[in-house]
Every structure is written in C-alpha cells, then in structure tokens.
Amino acid sequence: MSSFTRMGRISLLAAICCGAAIVSMHPSRSASAPEANGANPAATPLVSENTSGDFFLPPRGISATDVLAYRKDALPLGRSNNSPAMTFGEISAKWSELQSRIHADEAAITACRSDQTACSQSARRFLSIVELGLQREGRIRLGWINRAVNMAIRSTSDWAQYGYADFWASPLQTLGNGAGDCEDYAIVKYAALRELGISPDDLRLVIVQDEKREIGHAVVAVWHEQRWLILDNRTMAILDADDVRDYRPLFALDQHGTRAIATAAIERITNR
C-alpha cells in the first residue's frame, strides 16, 4: 500500500528540506539518466510528533489514488477546521506571493516569443524546455519535461544559495541560477506544463513528507488518462501516484490556492 495512505499527526516546520536530486524512490528501479551532481543539505524533519490532535493525515485504507483523484476535483481535499492556522498561512502566503512573480515570468516569456532580442538567458532556457515538450505527446511529453528540468537544475539548498531556510524562486529565477531545491524543480515543471497547455485544474504542486528520509519534499502531480502521475526531481521516471511508496501528502497547491490534505476531508469522501 502506498505510504500516501499512512496516518500520522504532524506539525509543519517553517522550511521544506529536500533530499538530493535524481535518485530513484524505488531502489530496484533505475533512472533513465545519470544522477545530477549536487549538494545534499542537512535534513531537518518537516514534521515532528504532535500530540495535540491538531492535524493528521488520511487513515489506512484510503489509497493514493483516492487521496489525489477522487472525482479528480477532490485534490486537494480541503482544510480541516482544526488545521494549525500559522502553518497553513505560511504555506499559503508563500504560494500566493510566488504567483505574482510567476505572472511576471510569463510576461517575460511572451515578450521573448515575439522578440528574440528581448529574451533573457533564463527565458531562452525555459522555452527550450517547452519546445522539447511540444515535440512529444501524452505521457512521453511529461517524461521529457521531467527529465529536461531535472537536468537543467543543479541541486542545492536555499541556505547555500539565498541565505534563507526556505525560499521559493520563480521559474526564470531558478533557470537563471541553474540551481535550486525540490520546490524550485517542481515550480519550473508546473510552469512549463502550464505553458504547454495543460489545464491548471489538472496540475498540483504537492508538498509531501518523505517518510524514508524523514524530510519534507515537493513534487508535481499531473492528471493524465484518468490517473495522477508524479514528476519528481529525484527520478527521471514518471510514476503513478499509487506506486510512490515513501511519500505522504501534506499540502497541495494549484490555481485555486493552498489546501491541506486532512482527515476531515477523507471522512467526507468515505461517507459518500
């Protein structure tokens, strides 16, 4: 059973700590390209034991597909009334603030398309990734985007790059630096897939707890052929959500904002 289904009580710390890039989530499954060289920052757990009962994850018996895709629009599953406001507010504020910078990037990309002299190096890199996707279709397209972004970014910590514990860079900022951590990879993929015409309703940036490494992580979930697929900077493979063994989803971010995956929402699903 996917560990997306494991129950646990959590309290979210301020920073999302990512492991090294381009390593397979399944030791028996080899990636289709060499690992990227990059730093493996010291891992501070995203979650700690919380006995207050404020917030807890889906119980056993609810599969990853149920969590991610029940009637599709059920992801993210809504915020529990008991979710800690500070934690939710911090994540929501980061995502909301990032949107304005993503919109600025989109304007720069549009200008680049119409006038090559207006192109920054980062905009050219972004459009080259999108062009790779345009040459393919379906799941293969997703695979090429995942691979291209993974190869374009060197894994490094926010502390090393910005001097902050957790900074969410815009897509062009990350590509301009050529470096980032897990949410930076995910943000670039999210933006590239939007540019390729994938409906915003079919995309989620999902913050998870990596239970194997005991750190936070970020991935992109894409609704494709009636299932959610996972794009991850740790592997070149595109995985079905149910095949992701060690990740437990905490928050999902999309065009509608940030919502927590909470037991109250699971109960609404199981009672339908």
Number of domains in the chain: 1
Backbone angles phi, psi at 257, to 5 degrees: 120, -150
170-205 tens-digit pLDDT: 999 999 999 999 999 999 999 999 999 999 999 999
For 206-246, the pLDDT digits (tens) are 998 888 888 889 999 999 999 999 999 999 999 998 888 88
**What span, in angstroms and rounded, lies between the C-alpha atoms of 197 and 138?**
12
Please state, in angstroms and rounded to a whole number, the distance separating the CA atoms of residues 254 and 222: 11
Quote the domain boundaries for residue 96. Answer: 3-270
Which range of 16-30, 44-58, 93-107 scores highest in mean pLDDT? It is: 93-107
Asked if pLDDT for residue 135 goes beyond 80, the answer is yes
- Name the pLDDT band for 116 (thresholds 50, 70, 90): confident
Q: DSSP states of 13-47 as a string? A: -S------SS--SSTTS--SSPPPP--------SB
| Helical packing angle, 85-114 and 121-134, nearest 10° | 90
Is the pLDDT confidence value at 50 over 70?
Answer: no
Residue position matching structure tokens 């889906």: 58
Whole-number Cα distances in Å, 61 to 3, 72, 226, 266, 267: 11, 18, 21, 11, 12
Reduced DSSP (H G I as helix, E B as strand, rest coil) percent helix, strand, coil of the chain, to 5: 40, 15, 45
Domain holding 167: CATH number? 3.10.620.30
Total-model pTM: 0.73
